[in-house]
Amino acid sequence: MVEISAGGLVYRMEKDELQVQMIQDRYGKITLPKGKMEAGETIEETALREILEETGIVGRIIDSIALITYQFVHSKSGIIDKEVHYYLVEAIGGTIQAQVEEIRGVEWLTPLEAWRQQKTSGYDNNEDVVRSGLKRLGIEVQ
């Protein structure tokens, strides 16, 4: 069985300052908004819907960043092949608001602060996603 999710690294320019959005998930980890694809959606529609639902931000896809694949065992369905598609997404509207049923918080950060939080409190498999997204925004990190 294959399960597909999508999300993105959301950014905006605020008073000539580049800002990147990060969320804190229900487990207290820093991550990017993402979620499962629903019937009839494209992967891109899934990414934009999940960003809107989880963070309150309306976005526009700029570029594909990464595809992460892995397997996990579900107690009822057995082995699941998971695909997570990540996009670089420009914020074009909405008001930042965490979906409290799904996540603990959401905030706009400077790119370097977002990277610091990813390194100290994020999931290891998101490191390349965040690095690649920041690189597309002209920010090099180590």
* Residue ranges covered by each domain of the chain: 2-136
pLDDT, tens digit, 9 for 90 and up, residues 24-43:
999 999 999 999 999 999 99
Q: Does residue 101 register a pLDDT over 90?
A: no
- What pLDDT shows up at residue 65? 97
**pTM exceeding the 0.85 threshold for the entire prediction:** yes
Long-range contacts of 42-50 (CB under 8 A, 24+ apart): 43/4, 43/6, 43/85, 44/6, 44/87, 46/4, 46/5, 46/6, 46/85, 47/6, 47/7, 47/8, 47/85, 47/86, 47/87, 47/89, 48/89, 50/5, 50/6, 50/7
Q: Does residue 67 register a pLDDT over 90?
A: yes
- What pLDDT shows up at residue 41? 97
CATH says 2-136 is which class? alpha beta
Percent of the chain, pLDDT > 90?
Answer: 92
